[in-house]
Amino acid sequence: MERVSLSDCEPSEAADGVHLALLAGAGEMNIQHFEIEPGAVVDEHSHPHEQTGFIYEGELVFRSDGEEVVCGSGDSYAIPGDQPHAAENRGEETVRGVDIFSPPREQPSWQAE
């Protein structure tokens, strides 16, 4: 069993105002905590991992396939692998939540070794 505390992680800034902390992982999935500051944008990207998430604070606008989907506190979402997507915090408070990736997401290039 692996235990990783958020308080022990040093978040990386993947983009201006977008902070990610890679947490626990296993053979089939791993989890990442995120904080996205007001006005911050996650540019369109894709990855082979299925991505599910849960927002516990704030509101995030996702863009995918020409549509916008607003997810707020208490909402979960799922993004199929290889589907291009982007996100933006258009609100006035920091968005906080977690993402789960399957298969496990490798340590991103912006994450310190």
For residue 107, what pLDDT is reported? Answer: 63
pTM for the full model? Answer: 0.91
CA–CA separation, 8 and 90 (whole Å): 29
| Average pLDDT over every residue of 100-106 | 92
Query: How large is the average pLDDT for residues 80-101?
Result: 98
Residues 47 and 38: their CA atoms lie apart, in Å, by 25
